[in-house]
Amino acid sequence: MSQLGFIGLGIMGSPMALHLVKAGHKVHVTTRSKVPQELLDAGAVACDSAQDVAARADVVFMMLPDTPDVEKVLFGAKGVAAGLAKGKTVVDMSSIDPIATRGFAKQIVALGCDYLDAPVSGGEVGAKAASLTIMVGGEPESFERIKPLFQLMGKNITLVGAAGDGQVCKVANQIIVALNIAAVGEALVFASKAGADPARVREALMGGFASSRILEVHGERMIKRTFNPGFRIGLHQKDLNLALQGARTLGVALPQTANAAQLMQSCVALGHGQADHSALVKALENMAQHKVMPDAAS
């Protein structure tokens, strides 16, 4: 049994931490809100602060919303850094700025500890099913040591490169996902506006070259109008902003990413920032003044 820590117990973090507990590890946890009762019932130990978690655990996992959150948890008052001792490992599974991540890694390594950035893809469904894709940046020796723990939370686990490269990979993932959601949304709005049954159009497309996981899962959400968050628009918008910030730094153009970011901004303006990112279709529907399918309450 290992002494583990997990900080950040939201939609993703809670089921991820639960997998570690159920595998027999002692998991010390803290979060901004109340620790879920399910975790406590399974044997997780609630702590008062991130410092307390780091002092008790040999490996500290974090799953937080954004770059400033990670910085505060790591280096703020009663933060992780204050509780670390030499030889411990910090694993950030949040999706944040790659450049900032490299700076965080240097500071943690200077304390005699190891640091891995390990953002994930797969949403709430993947977190609950322990089928997440995990993209890791850091030293190979640290990765191999932590990999058995990653395997309790995910299936496709890849060491991408050095510190920060996991976050680079996640940003690339979010670009692809956003553009695919926009493409599926445009196709279904077009089909519905033209008078075809969007459900049957989707079914037909699933058997052809246009088939994708996005068409399968999010296309179904668009048709059934089920936009409860697996991954919120507000968080995906944050990830696209990271991509565009990185593009400015690197001097590259990401025109389709910029367009998807604007669609998500439109959704936020329409009040859908807390909805699942498949609700990006609502921005397209607003422009077309036509819904793929009527909402259940309509």
Q: Could you identify the residue written with the tokens 């891995």? A: 116
One DSSP character per residue, 176-236 reads HHHHHHHHHHHHHHHHHHTT--HHHHHHHHTTSTT--HHHHHHHHHHHHT----SSBHHHH
- Rounded Cα distance between 295 and 298, Å, is 5
Report pLDDT digits (tens) over 267-295. Answer: 999 999 999 999 999 999 999 999 999 98
Using an 8 Å Cβ cutoff, are 164 and 98 in contact?
yes
Report pLDDT digits (tens) over 18-46. Answer: 999 999 999 999 999 999 999 999 999 99
Query: From the CB of residue 199, how many other CB atoms can be counted at a distance below 10 Å?
Result: 18
* Burial of 183 per CB tally in 10 Å (0-12, 13-18, 19+): middle
Instruction: Give the residue numbers marked as catalytic.
Output: 170
Query: From the CB of residue 248, how many other CB atoms can be counted at a distance below 10 Å?
Result: 10
Q: What is the mean pLDDT of the chain?
A: 96
- Rounded Cα distance between 213 and 126, Å, is 13
Please tell me the pTM assigned to this model. Answer: 0.91
